[in-house]
Structure 1
């Protein structure tokens, strides 16, 4: 299909939107680029009506994304989405299996209390990696970022399969979560590049549907790995599967990018920089100093809260005190660096001036803090208190995944029809508070497990709504060339929220569980408290109904109550952050052009 050689990616062809009701496209004939006075070139690029930057100001990855949507066919678009959903499916299956085996990994090293601590570090590194990843996909390209994230995920899985201590496992978690979150982030950006704003909520929600499909397959597979093989193969198997599954999508994007280059949509440029100059350039472009400072600040400040109980002198330990002080001091150092010395700022502070973007990011922060306060030890609680198997505890745990993913699709349709995302979010916040608050009463051993499932359903319905609405809010408030950045900014806030929530959970668990065990265990078993505290495998060795198991259950009951109360305390702020949003109707916002959904 012939295309004019002077195509301008910043001012592409008119929209060729593929309707969800009926796929349609103009006949395969030569298309001409309209002049600057054509109405198609006067569409808004963001809700405030700001114009997108000229072509020379667009970064290479953004130019490539725009050129690909102009150059590829309907068939290529459909193949790309098939590849995207296949990757989502396999990643969700791996997550289901890995999540159900994690407690047994830390317990195999007699470090079950460090279940949350290992996640805190990976959450922090994963959080601050979001914005550099956004730079990678904008500066280098979507395909390059996708391939790099696939490599990191694979390396993390290999390390987890072969780890022999909790330190190696924690390091593996960092590689894995940076890569895993990075893959999902690049795919979200790709869907944003290739969809109109009014259809984007539905597509984002639909991409989570594999979590529904794998609700029963994942826990059952984890049970089979643990029972008939080993938890190591639960990770090692996917170190082989994930690269194989991720490759076809990379090939599709590479082929269509070459097509765009061949048609003259993407100019070939050479920087002329030497290797040393390139390293210095990208160190500045990715703000390496700011990245190190903010990573160290969060790590040093948050980790002591979960490590203190394992130190000989606990909170009086010099290294615990030093970590908190140094971590706290690094935050103002980071701000000074960003304000006065950084040539390229780590965080896009100019976007946080917009109240909708800031409100969406803060909502994500609060939701993740609240969620991870009660979530991180939930599977252990179900297995120990209710005597559920790995598979059955996984089914109960996945109530949230089923409900949130299912209702996210419904919310996506509502947003597509009405164009409104603010009012559904306001309606969902009280339901989130209700579901979490009820767990204070029902998450106790004397209550039927059906009530816990009921609470999970309430949280799931509201959570699925709020996640989609916050994503739509930040994307509607930004220009399309800023979508990768605002999604990364949201990912930064949610991951930091997850790290804070896990820190709160780890601090409560590590500082309360052992003392609760010593309080409730029979006198002749108190000497076993440390061993019981350190391993879920040891906890499960005591049969249901025995005095020791009953004491363990009462200890869990005491700790879980504290975790849920902490979770509820954060949620009232969610109202404030949703009210900050502008009431933008996404049906009136035009952001993308070319062959899109």
Structure 2
């Protein structure tokens, strides 16, 4: 593993040379970089910038070198507040979608909106990682804030569902990017041994906001209206995010004044700048990987709209094109890229591969067993909307809470692999496997709650450890990139899982309904299949309701079996990880947690 290079005492005392000497000694491409900076000793430990690091990484390392303990504490308070507002905002605004589309009497675009915003928001983490590395963390942070605020303003002002659909894409790109950027901030300002705990800390607002979002949305609907909800959060988002941006920028300027980092201006022409940034962003590699992922993921969400479904020429061609582009990406990065998006050695690193596979497998399983869970709780278990929401929120609360325990365990032992291998993955398999038996009519709802607690605690362990795994496999320079890569595997897993769930549901539920419904209800089969309200209109204990519950249970049984079976792949995925002791090396620079 590459370890951060530590300068000797003699090297640390060498003074900063003037611009002419730097230009003679630096690499030619490095000389021309816009806002380029020269490395020098950072602190009393004589550490230098991460070798070969790009400007964004150097800037954050210089920032954390000069800021005080007070600034570090303020930064984490601001990050927590931003996460609190964003999680509350996401829950409240998400609850209003049905009311927005109902006001316009149009629902046809909402499915496509969800699909496109999910895919676009996922793949754009890749170029965002390069923005963070080349231009800086605060710049990427504010770019994502701008996307999110633009989306909120468009939703507040929209007069038709088409504009609302476009606004959703801007919003989700910003929201996902903002959460990702805050995660990079935490990685930049915490040691590996404490990073799991700090990730748990910034996730903790979800424990509270799951209870706030619903009443808040209701208050806006019953009061000024849904437009004011979007407009209010547009203003609040700007107000809550700007202080963190200024905190980082002020400390960066402090580092410049102290001479720790020396900005220089480029003398390149416009075309030279285009060529330079094309190389820095690895435009060829990004085009291939982003295009490949879009072509690969879209069929999983759109196949049901095509005649012939999986046999549709469009679906088949999308899969072929996507697969070829992803293969071309790997070959391009190895043989042709002037500057690789991610080192080829990392693409083949067993810890990185194993963590990405675990991420994909968990999302495949989640989308298989979790799809239609809300409807199942209402129809089969007969719970109210509020009660069903509470049960669904068990995962958010439990996983966030248990993440703290996982973070403490990583700090105490200095290792993370054992947590995933001996607790996270086995307990996840246990929880999902128990659903096969307990998601049946006449089973006490308490058993389902028990399985959700198992899955929540295990999920908190798996998510934290897989993120620590990809970061521990590299140095500070590639932290943003490997986290983006891990996120992309989550998107792939989600697309595959949702398509499997849809295929099982459409293949099993209507057939079982036709088989179980009494003769007097056969004429209403299509309405029962299509509408949750019709399903619940039949009283509990009537022959028709019993038939509907049996059909639900049959479909859910196959979905739970599929969700459990795919989790078996998580065991070898974790076994692939190197048993890295995170106390053994220092990845980040300066004053960190």
Q: Same fold (TM over 0.5)?
A: yes
Deviates most, 388-397 or 299-308: 299-308
Equivalent residues in 2 for 1:389-468 (5 A)?
A: 389-428=384-423, 429-468=425-464
Name the CA shift for 1:351/1:111 in 2 (closer, same or farther; >3 Å): same
Equivalent residues in 2 for 1:373-384 (5 A)?
A: 373-384=368-379
Q: Does 1:309 align with 2:299?
A: no
Q: Does 1:496 align with 2:498?
A: no
Deviates most, 265-274 or 513-522: 513-522
Q: Does 1:566 align with 2:562?
A: yes
- Shift in Å, 1:348: 3.9
Name the CA shift for 1:182/1:4 in 2 (closer, same or farther; >3 Å): farther
Deviates most, 414-423 or 500-509: 500-509
> What is the rounded CA distance, in whole Å, between the counterparts of 1:226 and 1:545 in structure 2?
35
How many equivalent pairs are there?
Answer: 559
Alignment check: 8 A CA contact 1:10 1:66 kept = no
Q: Does 1:123 align with 2:118?
A: yes
Name the CA shift for 1:449/1:227 in 2 (closer, same or farther; >3 Å): farther
- Shift in Å, 1:414: 1.2
Alignment check: 8 A CA contact 2:38 2:262 kept = no
After superposition, the C-alpha distances for 1:339-370 in whole angstroms (9 at most, x for unaligned) are 55544444443213322222222222211221
> What is the rounded CA distance, in whole Å, between the counterparts of 1:185 and 1:68 in structure 2?
20
Q: Secondary structure at the match of 1:207?
A: helix
Give the TM-score normalised by structure 1. 0.82
- Shift in Å, 1:273: 3.5
Deviates most, 61-70 or 584-593: 584-593
Q: Secondary structure at the match of 1:583?
A: coil
Q: Does 1:291 align with 2:283?
A: no
Alignment check: 8 A CA contact 1:159 1:169 kept = yes
The one of 261, 266, 270 equivalent to 1:271 is 266
Name the CA shift for 1:160/1:500 in 2 (closer, same or farther; >3 Å): farther
Alignment check: 8 A CA contact 1:125 1:295 kept = no
Partner of 1:205: 200
Partner of 1:241: 236
Name the CA shift for 1:320/1:61 in 2 (closer, same or farther; >3 Å): closer
Equivalent residues in 2 for 1:94-109 (5 A)?
A: 94-98=89-93, 109=106
The one of 351, 365, 380 equivalent to 1:356 is 351
Name the CA shift for 1:487/1:330 in 2 (closer, same or farther; >3 Å): closer
> What is the rounded CA distance, in whole Å, between the counterparts of 1:466 and 1:481 in structure 2?
24
Partner of 1:89: 84
> What is the rounded CA distance, in whole Å, between the counterparts of 2:274 and 2:184 in structure 1?
26
> What is the rounded CA distance, in whole Å, between the counterparts of 1:194 and 1:80 in structure 2?
9
Equivalent residues in 2 for 1:219-238 (5 A)?
A: 219-222=214-217, 235=230, 237-238=232-233
> What is the rounded CA distance, in whole Å, between the counterparts of 2:363 and 2:382 in structure 1?
28
Name the CA shift for 1:247/1:574 in 2 (closer, same or farther; >3 Å): same
- Shift in Å, 1:536: 4.7
Deviates most, 215-224 or 486-495: 215-224
Partner of 2:138: 143
Give the TM-score normalised by structure 2. 0.83
Alignment check: 8 A CA contact 1:158 1:235 kept = yes
The one of 473, 477, 481 equivalent to 2:473 is 477
> What is the rounded CA distance, in whole Å, between the counterparts of 1:306 and 1:183 in structure 2?
25
Alignment check: 8 A CA contact 1:127 1:493 kept = no
After superposition, the C-alpha distances for 1:297-324 in whole angstroms (9 at most, x for unaligned) are 3333443344333445444544444444
Structure 2 unpaired stretches of 5+:
1-12, 18-36
> What is the rounded CA distance, in whole Å, between the counterparts of 1:404 and 1:372 in structure 2?
17
Deviates most, 316-325 or 573-582: 316-325
Alignment check: 8 A CA contact 1:261 1:267 kept = yes
> What is the rounded CA distance, in whole Å, between the counterparts of 1:251 and 1:287 in structure 2?
30
> What is the rounded CA distance, in whole Å, between the counterparts of 2:96 and 2:87 in structure 1?
14
CA RMSD of aligned residues (A): 3.5
Alignment check: 8 A CA contact 2:63 2:255 kept = yes
Equivalent residues in 2 for 1:316-327 (5 A)?
A: 317-327=312-322
> What is the rounded CA distance, in whole Å, between the counterparts of 1:537 and 1:240 in structure 2?
37
Q: Secondary structure at the match of 1:432?
A: helix
> What is the rounded CA distance, in whole Å, between the counterparts of 1:427 and 1:549 in structure 2?
42
- Shift in Å, 1:590: 1.7
> What is the rounded CA distance, in whole Å, between the counterparts of 1:425 and 1:221 in structure 2?
37
- Shift in Å, 1:464: 0.7
Partner of 2:575: 579
Name the CA shift for 1:93/1:441 in 2 (closer, same or farther; >3 Å): same
> What is the rounded CA distance, in whole Å, between the counterparts of 2:307 and 2:454 in structure 1?
42
> What is the rounded CA distance, in whole Å, between the counterparts of 2:97 and 2:503 in structure 1?
19
> What is the rounded CA distance, in whole Å, between the counterparts of 1:517 and 1:230 in structure 2?
40
- Shift in Å, 1:430: 1.0
Name the CA shift for 1:156/1:383 in 2 (closer, same or farther; >3 Å): farther
Structure 1 unpaired stretches of 5+:
15-32, 34-39, 46-50
Structure with more relative contact order (C-alpha pairs < 8 Å, separation 6 or more) = 1
Alignment check: 8 A CA contact 2:415 2:581 kept = yes
Alignment check: 8 A CA contact 2:39 2:261 kept = no
Name the CA shift for 1:312/1:585 in 2 (closer, same or farther; >3 Å): closer
- Shift in Å, 1:462: 0.9
The one of 246, 252, 257 equivalent to 2:247 is 252
Name the CA shift for 1:172/1:445 in 2 (closer, same or farther; >3 Å): farther
Partner of 1:187: 182
> What is the rounded CA distance, in whole Å, between the counterparts of 1:529 and 1:230 in structure 2?
37
